[in-house]
Structure 1
Amino acid sequence: MRRAGLVGFGLALAAAGSAAAAGASVDCVSGSPAPLERLIAACSPIIDDTTASRGDRAAALVVRADARSRISGGLSEALADLDRAISLNGKNAAAYRLRGELTREAGGNLGEAEDDLTTAIKLDPQDAESYELRGVIYTSQRRIDRAIADYDQAIQLKPDDAQAWSDRGVTYYLGGDNEKAVHDAGEALRLDPNRPRTYTNRAAAYKKLGQLDKALADDSDAIRLDPNVAEYFDNRGLTYAAMKDYDKAIADYDQALKLEQRANFFTNRGDSYQFKGELGTALSDYDSALRLDPNFALAYNNRAVLYKKMGERAKALADYESALRLDPGNENAANGRRTMRAEIARFGSEPPQPMHAPDTHPSFDCETARLPVELAICADPQLGALDREIAETYSRLINNASRRSADALRRAQRNFVAARNAGFGKPGYDLHLALQKRLDALQSAAR
């Protein structure tokens, strides 16, 4: 959330005893365009002037605190200034509001921040900013009704505040009212169309409503406005995945990972590879996610689903157990664990394999195969064995590769799959030869 300007006030220095203090008052006012260091220097003589009124000194302390809070490392000094301002003038609403805001930003006691903002509202019931800031605290605590009531008041007092509309939209979304979330985000964007975060928030609500085309447009607008935020590419990747356009989803996850390495980005990309049937690549992504964050329950759950498809029941059960240890309320993991226990009791931990015979099952699930080339691989044991060996060799390579080498391997694998899918069925295309060449290349790289 953005830092709002303080409620404007001037400093009446008729009682000030020094010319320096009187001259400093030119800059020591809320909203002054002066550089922060100059603003701090201008306020300090007023604060130190014992002949100035307590109200003027408190007001100068608030202005200096606001300036200090905007300088790196100045937060503790800003809070100390606000404590002093309130001790000088307990009726200074701006001091309570800013202290409440900074306490929340610093990760301090939210109850104390809420108390300060409540006091600010009692002292100045027309201050829209205090209602909005208290609404943010209520939203973070999932006190949805109280948050909405505060945003209602903020918007009534200041209907052109795009941030208040946007924040209320997020709160409606968290409360499950996606229609209102879309409406409020729209109002925020009408007032200020250059808000990438609001676009991505509205996209999330559109996805909940099943309006994927509108979600995609909003995700793209967020990226257009700020192409350096990894999360925006990940969000659009999720939208493409919901539309079952997994190649575009993977391209967006690739971009997100170039900008920032996060476990959830690897997991989301792994999901798309799994849906595409590229199980070896999916496994590599889940492994990467868990190397980054060994406590990421979703990655364990989704890798368990993958292991189940691969027939590795013991590994699937272990991952479901890990997911439940980290997230005991995960119903999908609980159901998966129950299924795995039953299957292991009935069939054993691993599927039976013919002795001294290669595994002729492809790396993907033939029950979900749709592409002609995938159906052909499923129908031919030799092709199935080659496909599985390609996936397993690729997985071993990428698990031991550096980041740069892993990126190159992924590109080469995507290019191979794309060429395979496009070439199959065309005159002169030999699928067996194409798979064998890819396996030879991977095995050469592994030596």
Structure 2
Amino acid sequence: MKKIMFLGVLVALLSCKAEPEVAENKIKEDVAYLADDKLEGRQTGTDGEKKASEYLVKRFQEIGLEPKGTEGYLQPFSFKPKTDPHKEVEFTTNADSTITGNNVIAFIDNNAKTTVVIGAHYDHLGFGGEGSLYREKEKAVHNGADDNASGVAVMLNLASRLKTKAINADIKDKNNYLFMAFSGEEMGLLGSNYFSKNPTIDAKSINYMINMDMVGRMKADSTLAVYGIGTSPMFKQTLKSNNDKFKLVENESGVGPSDHTSFYLIDVPVLHFFTGQHEDYHKPGDDSEKLNYDGMNLISDYIYNIISDLDDNGELAFRKTKNESEETPRFKVGLGVVPDYLYDGKGMRIDGTREETPAFNAGLLKGDIVVKLGDSTITDMMSYMRALSVFDNGDEAAITVQRGDKIIETKVVF
């Protein structure tokens, strides 16, 4: 009888052990918290940013990740606000006239030689300020649901999935994983810049870096922009072979206006994922109920599959890319439009216009495709910026746009 009871207990224990853990999906819940009015826009150095960082620490603990900051999960950094926009920010330990932000960093240790960094910035614009496109007089919270609670929520989802995989798998992945929620991005990539100069792991062990910034507004055509595909020879084919859901818009450059740039500049291959700008960009209307959560889940699946596919490829080769930002022409005027950065046809498609701007006054509309400005034919964003660079305030220029099947010629006054 005792033998039978012992065998029964043993079978029960073995069956319990065989039951795999399942990763919990809290993408919607994470966005709802981070983009709540109570956090007052999560501006670096504010109480709202502190509340957000405390929430991220709690989430990393729930997932079961190790702390990898300098103070537990946190990596504080202090800096003096820039007075000259052309100078680099000065990181300092002097408490006078400084702002302190916190990167939040966690780790999965697979006892591997190399580490994959998966990151997203969690700070935003607070009540607006310099980066805001909001033109009303009343103060308003900029919740930044897409920018960038969306990227942080997908990062946390990937952390949960990769931790669950590490628990369930008989064989560990050949990479460790470092998860980073950056602060100071809106002030000039400050958190990622600080980490690149003061890494909490051996920087030479970083295999590649994945960045997610504004991945919450996927459009109906399932367009997904991926930057940095030229920074390693492995990326292009890996992205293609794992894609059966998205219309990919690919960009080779490792330099761009988000945190992946800080890693590219220390010779780390990078991939940056982005679903495009919209009318609520850097405005109070960027709220959680407007996000495409099904699209975010698809992006999480895609990145997870890319990471899994790359796991057998050892340390990825790094490749320098053409720095497109250095070639960007300087210009004194603008049309006052939000370009559609996901458009890959001929011309520059307008994703939104602002009132009392040259474009608005000329009658240009969302969806119009600028094909000629002055004497210049517009084929892409770069040619559009080159065309703008020849004009000064007060100049008048002919402009041609395609609106549906119609070609419309008008004039714009800068």
* TM over 0.5, shorter chain: no
Q: Bigger radius of gyration, 1 or 2?
A: 1
Instruction: Report the structure, 1 or 2, having the larger helix content.
Output: 1
Instruction: Report the structure, 1 or 2, having the larger strand content.
Output: 2
Q: Flag the structure with more relative contact order, 1 or 2, with Cα contacts below 8 A and sequence separation at least 6.
A: 2
TM-score by length of 2: 0.29
